[in-house]
Amino acid sequence: MNLNVPSVSVLVNQIKRNLEASFRNVTVVGEITNLSYSSSGHWYLSLSDPESLISAAVFKMDAMRNPVLKNLKDGDKVICAGAISVYAKRGTFQLIIKRITPVGKGDLKEQFELLKKKLAAEGLFDLESKMPIPEMPKRIAVITAKGAAALQDFLNIVDRRSLFCDVLISPALVQGDAAPVSIRKALEKVIRYDMKHREAGNLDKCIDVIVLTRGGGSLEDLWAFNDEALAWDIYNCPIPTISAVGHQVDFSISDFVADLRAETPSAAAEILTNKQKEIVERLENNKRHLKSAIQSKVQKHRYELSSATPAKILEKLWKRISLFKSRLENCNVLKRKVELLSLSESQYELDILINSMMTNIKKLIEKKSRDLQLQNELLTALNPKSILSRGYAYTEIDGKVLTSFKDFTKVEKDKVLKLHFNDGCGEVKKI
């Protein structure tokens, strides 16, 4: 046996050292196949071209730095940067990917920047050309995909925060090659609709603002909103526009051309309903204050009514009448004394004065009598016994009066309730 011949493990480890040292930083382009995700957070795939194939992996921490992985699929062409790793036990090697980029993404970014620079030079982004967004729009047109989650989010917020806002939906494709033309047609449709009703004088049906929106996605997914022809349509639109495309970190050409950019579809809905939300909150606040004032007033009158019996009120009124009667008698005595004096020179003036006093006092007594009668009738009407005498009753449980059916529903089964009538009370059991 030749002891100088290396074993398999020695050979493989030599290969491992040489390969890993030579290919610490490699970049390769290929097509994804067999892409899979492990519950441990790692991604596994193969990179291939027409003649060769190499296994590859993206470990959890690197996968978190490459969120684009979630949007990739078999057949996508990508550029991967990483290092070669040899698995000695099997004598196999694979590419450990540190960075992965779809082919063409860099081209799209370059196109975006070039178009942005061109349109900016042509004045499409100038602040002077932007129209103000109405604070309290009555009619909003939304251009987005029919049934999209972004649309539902927008509608939910408008419905919750607004008082009188109508939303007109103009459906369009928002992704793919046909999307730019579809969005332009939807925008044109909204403009024609607005012009038709404006010319007819139907101002309540005119559009106050247009929202172009869709949810988040990759640069390719949002590319429809980077169309140059669409940018010019938005710029020339006679109606104020809001662009709410993607998430906070996403930017599209429509964001720069529109009169206002909203970070998300939900943010656009909140912007358009801010003023109405303030009014709703103010109304709710006034409602609470009014309710509190009414309850306080009712409580005060209930206390006054419970503490003032009819007998006490009548006694007070009779005392006032007695006082007026006493004054009247004093006047009569005064009149008789004056008559006895036989002062002829003052007799005429005194008679006039006394007659005037008598008339005024009689009128006052009559008025107080009428007031007393009205108070008596009111007290009789408010007297609980008077109400009970007409066939009504009230219910108590454990000393507490039930004032509503809701209170009754809270009473447990087989509980004894006490019914109070005009001439007595009885007990019943809830079944």
pTM above 0.85, yes or no: no
Instruction: Name the residue ranges covered by the structural domains of the chain.
Output: 8-103, 108-278, 310-382, 394-429
Query: Which CATH entry fits the domain spanning 108-278: 3.40.980.10, 3.40.50.2300, 3.40.50.12780, 3.40.190.10?
Result: 3.40.50.2300
pLDDT at 165: 85
pLDDT at 93: 93
Of 102-111, 133-142, 170-179, 398-407, the one with minimum mean pLDDT is: 102-111
Asked if residue 346 has pLDDT above 60, the reply is no
Asked if residue 32 has pLDDT above 80, the reply is yes
User: What confidence category does residue 257 fall into, taking pLDDT thresholds of 50, 70 and 90?
Assistant: very high
Which amino acid appears at position 396 of this protein?
E
Q: Which residue has the higher pLDDT, 420 or 31?
A: 31
User: What confidence category does residue 339 fall into, taking pLDDT thresholds of 50, 70 and 90?
Assistant: low
Asked if residue 198 has pLDDT above 60, the reply is yes
In tens, the pLDDT along 112-140 reads 888 899 999 999 999 999 999 998 899 99
pLDDT at 259: 96
In this structure, whether the domain defined by 8-103 belongs to CATH 3.30.2350.10 is answered with: no
For residue 44, list its beta bridge partners: 36, 57
User: What confidence category does residue 335 fall into, taking pLDDT thresholds of 50, 70 and 90?
Assistant: low
pLDDT at 244: 93
Asked if residue 313 has pLDDT above 70, the reply is no
Distance CA(367)–CA(363), nearest Å, equals: 6
Asked if residue 315 has pLDDT above 80, the reply is no
Find the mean pLDDT for residues 255-266. 94
Q: Do 197 and 229 form a contact (C-beta atoms < 8 A)?
A: no
Asked if residue 217 has pLDDT above 70, the reply is yes
Distance CA(223)–CA(227), nearest Å, equals: 7
Q: In angstroms, what is the C-alpha Rg of the chain?
A: 45
Q: Which residue has the higher pLDDT, 307 or 174?
A: 174
Residue where the block lists tokens 């398999």: 8
Query: DSSP readout, 68-97?
Result: GGGG--TT-EEEEEEEEEEETTTTEEEEEE
User: What confidence category does residue 2 fall into, taking pLDDT thresholds of 50, 70 and 90?
Assistant: low
Q: Do domains 8-103 and 108-278 have the same CATH topology?
A: no
pLDDT at 230: 96
Question: By three-state DSSP, how is residue 23 classified?
Answer: coil
